[in-house]
Amino acid sequence: MKVSMFTNKNNQSIQGFTLTEILVSITIILILAVLSFLGFSRMRSSGDQIVSTRNIANLMIANAAYASDNNGKYVPYTRRPTADEIAAGISYPGESYWTTNWKFLRNLRGEPTGGREWEAPLSAMDPITVRAKKNSYDNLYGSYGYNTTNQPGVGQPGTPWPGVGSNQSFSVHHIKNPSRTACFTTGTDIGVSPSNPVLWKNKNNQKEGKTENSMMSFRHANKTKALVVYYDGHVSAVTVADMEKINKEGAGENVFWNALAN
């Protein structure tokens, strides 16, 4: 039954909406709101992956430029600055990781900043990490990790460089399969390695920044994919299943991790 809600000037009743019609309208509005939210979430997820793909590709571009400027040597995992660099205020005043290497970051930015050049801009970070404001979101190592497998200076028994030290790095000629060996991945620490590559769960109560070190982060595509840039510069998305397969096929000896593998 319709209820008379208004009358016009001739005292004729104007029929209103029934309760059923009102409930149907509310339901339709709620459905449209949910669909809009889901569409926004998908678009944001896709946009995040696009931005992070660009950023991680830029890391490899900066690394290649670093090698071009340093006799074919890629950015070292750690570096001890000179006294002149510290005095000039352009270098982190102590042993620095690749994430604060001012020469590497200058290549990443494309220009000098005029000081404190060991700081990377937020635009270079993974947008998901920045938005979550979790562990070191304003530092590159909160977003991406450097593949440390057999890295000179990291300390790898059975390699040509078993000791730990600064200013040591791969040369271009060390990388046997640049299209198959990972250089950087989305991660939760400065370095990533095959010893414990997975994962950022975050589906339960495990948040970014509370996982163990040296871990790849599967934060994209609804927390199912990690991004990897290889030494040849191309980027791909890998799943947990992909990494489990790699671990079964040699782990640290697999060409994905091991730059010295043929």
- Mean pLDDT per 10-residue run, the chain (262 residues)? 51 63 76 64 77 96 94 88 75 78 89 74 91 79 88 57 62 93 91 67 43 68 90 94 87 89 82
Model confidence, pTM: 0.76
- Asked if the structure places residue 10 within a domain, the reply is no
Q: Which amino acid, 160?
A: P
Would 261 be classed as within a structural domain?
no
Q: How crowded is the C-beta side of 205, counted as CA atoms within 13 Å? A: 0
For residue 142, what pLDDT is reported? 86
pLDDT at 216: 85
Domain residue limits at 242: 52-253
Asked, for residue 36, whether it belongs to a domain, the answer is: no
DSSP, res 216: B
Residue 113 forms part of a structural domain: yes
Q: Give the number of domains in the chain.
A: 1
* Residue 166 pLDDT: 60
pLDDT at 161: 47
- Determine, yes or no, domain membership for 22: no
Residue that has been written with the tokens 């970051």 in this structure: 105
User: What pLDDT score does 113 carry?
Assistant: 64
Establish if 21 belongs to a structural domain.
Answer: no
pLDDT at 201: 46
Residues paired with 187 in a beta bridge: 216
